Every structure is written in structure tokens, then in C-alpha cells.
Structure 1
Amino acid sequence: MSLQISILTPERPFWNGQAEEIILPTETGEMGVLKNHAPIITGLDVGAMLIRTKEQWNSFAIMGGFAVVKKNQITILANEAESAESINPEEAQNAYESAKKNLETAEGVKQKVEANFSFKRAKARFQVVKVLNSGR
């Protein structure tokens, strides 16, 4: 038996399937989950999430949320999610570079917080496109 994964967003069920492994972007760093993992609830950060099925790696940009791991079932409640295939690589790279510049030049607390969120979002989208193109 492998892992049963369900990714839910406010708009719709985003992805359901079986996998051998998942790597989650948690608020304290990346966390890998294999079969028979200890039960856990964790907050998800904005970042790249990787799912390894028997055939391939799938990469998704997750925009925060929560994950529940229990009895080889993983339920992910994400604020927003995008698959690597749905992201334009050039657009993602341009958005990443632009967000990085905006973060470096941001002044004031509000502007820095907004620039940091935009940067994390753009970085996540760019990372999943790079993973897709590298054929991980």
C-alpha cells in the first residue's frame, strides 16, 4: 500500500491519487513523507511541493495551508495550488526576477511584507517549472 493523497483548495479538489513519497514545504522547512509516517498536522508555507508516484515526480506550487498525515493518508488544505504544467516557464522566471528586485528595494514594513509574499509566490512557481524541466 502506498500513500493516498488529497489536495483541496477553496475552489475545488485539486489532486487526488496514490504516491510513494511527498515533499511538503512546511513553515519550518521541507518535510518528506513516506509510507507509515507518524501522524502529524503541519502548517504549509508558500513553496514547491513534490509528489513521487510509481511513474514520475509531479511538482506543484502551494500557496500555504495545512497538511494532515495519518495512516498513510495525506490531506492537504491549500490556499491555492498550481501544477508545473499549467505555469508558463518564461513568465515564471520573469515574475521571479521582478519580485526579487522589488524585495531588495522595498522600504517600510508594509512594503517589505507584501514584497516578501510576492517573492515567495514567484519563487515557488519558478521552482516547480525548473523541476519539471529538469525531469527530476
Structure 2
Amino acid sequence: MSLQISILTPERPFWTGQAEEIILPTETGEMGVLKNHAPIITGLDVGAMLVRTKDEWNSFAIMGGFAVVKKNKVTILANEAESAEKIDTDEAKNAFESAKMNLESAEGVKQKVEANFAFKRAKARYQVVKVLNKRS
């Protein structure tokens, strides 16, 4: 394998493994990392992160943080992380639809900011579940 991946959250080391490719949800859009990527530190947005091993794609919901890429090692410091296997599909879909409606009806700056954050979290969780269901 070509990349050593470590996902760390404040509670615990979340996931460690080898990968061929990783797609990160950065603050400026999705960023792919392959072997021998240039060193970089980037902020992570709330979103879906995909990790391709030799055998399969793994999907994780990342709730913001930072990623460091250096010498074929990717270290992700995430505020929170969830793997697709641990997320209930129906609950994620319902939460996404509810958050979308709340965002559309939000009034005032504070309510819009809070609704947007809740929407991004729900969207990330729903996206990783959809990726998992496509593989099954």
C-alpha cells in the first residue's frame, strides 16, 4: 500500500490503516491524495471522506478539523468522525430531510448559521451511508 492514514478525534484514535487513495472534504472543496503527494496542511470542512484500500472504498463522516499530508502519511485531526457502518440509513435520511427543511425556513443570521451547520452534518452522514449502500 502507499499511504498510511490516521484519523484522530479528541476522544480517541478513530481509524488507522493503509490506503491507495483518500478524498478529503476540505474548506475549498474535495481534495484527493495519492502516493507521493506534496506536503500540505489543510482545513477540513464537515463532509464525507473516502478512503480507497486495495480491496474497497471506506466512507467516513468528518465533522471538520485539519489534515496533514507528509511523506505518504496522512494524519487527520477531526472534531468528530463516524464510519458509514455505524450510521442508521433511515435515521440519516430523515435527519437530512429535516435539516434541509429547517435551513430553508431559517430566519435571521444566527438561525441560518445554526441551520446550515446542522444541514452540513446531516448531509455528510447521509452521503457516507449512500456510498456504503451502493457498495452492498
Partners of 1:98 and 1:2 lie apart in 2 by: 40
Q: Which residue does 2:43 correspond to in 1?
A: 43
Aligned with 2:107: secondary structure? coil
Q: Which runs of 4+ in 1 moved over 3 A?
A: none
Q: In the TM superposition, what is the alpha-carbon distance from 1:68 to its structure 2 partner?
A: 0.1
Count of residues paired in the alignment:
136
Unaligned runs of 5+ in 2: none
Q: Which residue type is aligned with residue 19 of structure 1?
A: A
Quick check: 1:116 aligned with 2:135? no
Deviations 1:80-136 (A, max 9, x none): 000000000000000000000000000000000000000000000000000000119
Q: Which residue does 1:18 correspond to in 2?
A: 18
Partners of 1:32 and 1:133 lie apart in 2 by: 22
Q: Which residue type is aligned with residue 4 of structure 1?
A: Q
Q: Which residue type is aligned with residue 29 of structure 1?
A: G
Q: Which residue does 2:95 correspond to in 1?
A: 95
Q: CA RMSD in A?
A: 0.9
Partners of 2:59 and 2:50 lie apart in 1 by: 5
Q: Which residue type is aligned with residue 85 of structure 1?
A: E
Unaligned runs of 5+ in 1: none
Identity of aligned residues (%): 86
Q: Which residue type is aligned with residue 110 of structure 2?
A: K
Partners of 1:128 and 1:3 lie apart in 2 by: 21
Partners of 2:135 and 2:88 lie apart in 1 by: 16
Q: Which residue does 1:54 correspond to in 2?
A: 54
Partners of 1:65 and 1:4 lie apart in 2 by: 18
Q: Which residue type is aligned with residue 74 of structure 1?
A: V
Q: In the TM superposition, what is the alpha-carbon distance from 1:59 to its structure 2 partner?
A: 0.1
